[in-house]
């Protein structure tokens, strides 16, 4: 669990945490032994999944994702990250109820990972590398990569077969995830 500067456990986002506005996430991606893979800019869908957007922004603003791995990579399907343990079993200590919507799972879409329980999302998310339509209406879409889609391609292309068959052999991680204005994000 990530600690705040106060030394306490990170607490779940407040209900009034801002989700609107013209903000985006800027995600700097690196690979161990390689260096920078590039920067992705992600826009959010607060009208479709307000609590998922609020949750992601809260975690990013509290540096939860900084240094966290993309622990699951399946070329042509998706890249998954957001687990502070890097095993696929970790989370922030709370869950977010599903907000299924009409957004389609196409390349570049940001969606919440979960267990069999639809209301088990926390901090783990995936970005589609293909168009897995079978996930539509089953997983909460809450954003999309609008710049840096080639970074998704680079991550999807890394050799896998670490501790699990879909784990990158050389760790790929989010160096930083920052919430900034759209204008600032698009200038990256």
Domain positions in the chain are 23-186
Confidence at residue 69, expressed as pLDDT on a 0 to 100 scale:
98
Q: Which class in CATH covers the domain with range 23-186?
A: mainly beta
pTM for this structure?
0.93
Confidence at residue 1, expressed as pLDDT on a 0 to 100 scale:
38
Contact (Cβ atoms closer than 8 angstroms) between residue 71 and residue 183: no
User: How many angstroms separate the CA atoms of 188 and 177, rounded?
Assistant: 13
Contact (Cβ atoms closer than 8 angstroms) between residue 109 and residue 128: yes
Alpha helices of 95-174 — where are they, by DSSP H?
149-156
**Regions of the chain with pLDDT less than 70:** 1-9, 162
- Other beta carbons within 10 angstroms of residue 10's beta carbon come to 19
User: How many angstroms separate the CA atoms of 71 and 104, rounded?
Assistant: 23
Tens digits of per-residue pLDDT, 74-86?
Answer: 999 999 999 999 9
Confidence at residue 3, expressed as pLDDT on a 0 to 100 scale:
36
Confidence at residue 8, expressed as pLDDT on a 0 to 100 scale:
54
């Amino acid at each position: 669990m990530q600690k705040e500067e106060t030394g306490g456990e990170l607490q779940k986002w407040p209900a009034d945490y801002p989700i609107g506005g013209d903000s985006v996430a800027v995600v700097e991606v690196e690979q161990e032994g390689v260096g920078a893979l590039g920067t992705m800019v992600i826009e959010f869908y607060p009208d479709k999944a307000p609590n998922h957007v609020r949750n992601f922004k809260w975690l990013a603003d509290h540096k939860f994702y900084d240094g966290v791995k993309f622990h699951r990579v399946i070329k042509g399907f998706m890249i998954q990250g957001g687990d502070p343990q890097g095993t696929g079993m970790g989370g922030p200590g709370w869950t977010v109820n599903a907000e299924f919507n009409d957004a389609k799972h196409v390349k570049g879409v940001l969606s919440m990972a979960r267990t069999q329980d639809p209301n088990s999302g926390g901090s783990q998310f995936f970005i589609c590398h293909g168009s897995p339509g079978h996930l539509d209406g089953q997983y909460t879409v809450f954003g999309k990569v609008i710049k840096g889609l080639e970074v998704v391609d680079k991550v999807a292309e890394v050799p896998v077969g670490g501790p699990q068959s879909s784990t990158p052999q050389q760790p790929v991680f989010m160096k930083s995830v920052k919430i900034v204005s759209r204008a600032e994000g698009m200038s990256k």
